[in-house]
Amino acid sequence: MEFAFDIQNLFPQTIISVQAHNLQVVAPQQPHRGIQSQQRAVPPSCRLSQILDLMGQRSAVAQKLNHPVTSAEKLVDTDHVVYLKADSDGASGRWAVSGLLKVGTKDLYLFDKEGCCRRADRTPAILDFYVTESRQRRGVGKQLFQRMLDDQGWTACKCSVDRPSDKMLAFLSKHYGLVRTIPQGNNFVIYEGFFDDAKAAKDAKDAKDTSACLSRGH
């Protein structure tokens, strides 16, 4: 997606991460009479806000959502991180934004494979994912997603996904082998393996600590 302003200086790498402190959310204003809007200096934080707002709108349209999930305003006062990918379109040489991935953590009540409801605090959550139509099937989505996993220290099977589209489900199946879901009573989708090892490891550690205490007691 191209913008009226040059975005290349906003992207020291082809993929950047954006958080609330990177943004300056401002209400749109009409330029003063006699002053062209493009002549007015606009800080990079405002440019990033505009990119988030427009990409969020495009994502909502693509997913047939009533309201955007991603905007600069929605990022304020959250721990959410938005990853943006941009590169040259090759033809005009202008840089364009090709993908968006929004993640964060959520405190959720989730069902495990046995149907038991469990509280999962600060659960890794995929909140919004969009690749522009002209850049799809070119590896943009995989680059974005893998950069996010590496950056956050997460694994795909430990992520919850908020209202995934059919394309998102197909993406996770193709690139990460995630197929078997665990039915939930909310909008989030999790996969088998989400709960694996965590509780078992904790129980084993607790049992070991208890045994050690009893041994010292004798």
153 labelled as ligand-binding? no
CA–CA gap between residue 101 and residue 56 (Å, rounded)? 10
Looking up tokens 């006062």 gives 77
123 labelled as ligand-binding? no
100 labelled as ligand-binding? no
104 labelled as ligand-binding? no
8 Å CB contact between 116 and 55: no
* Angle (deg, nearest 10), helices 140-152 and 166-176: 70
171 labelled as ligand-binding? yes
131 labelled as ligand-binding? yes
174 labelled as ligand-binding? yes
189 labelled as ligand-binding? no
74 labelled as ligand-binding? no
168 labelled as ligand-binding? yes
Which tokens hold the place of 127?
């909140």
What is the three-class DSSP state of 163? coil
140 labelled as ligand-binding? yes
136 labelled as ligand-binding? yes
129 labelled as ligand-binding? yes
191 labelled as ligand-binding? no
In which element (H, E) is residue 127 found? strand 117-131
8 Å CB contact between 124 and 151: no
133 labelled as ligand-binding? yes
8 Å CB contact between 156 and 122: no
83 labelled as ligand-binding? no
167 labelled as ligand-binding? yes
113 labelled as ligand-binding? no
3 labelled as ligand-binding? no
148 labelled as ligand-binding? no
Which residues line the annotated binding site? 129-142, 165-174
Which residues line the annotated binding site for acetyl-CoA? 129-142, 165-174
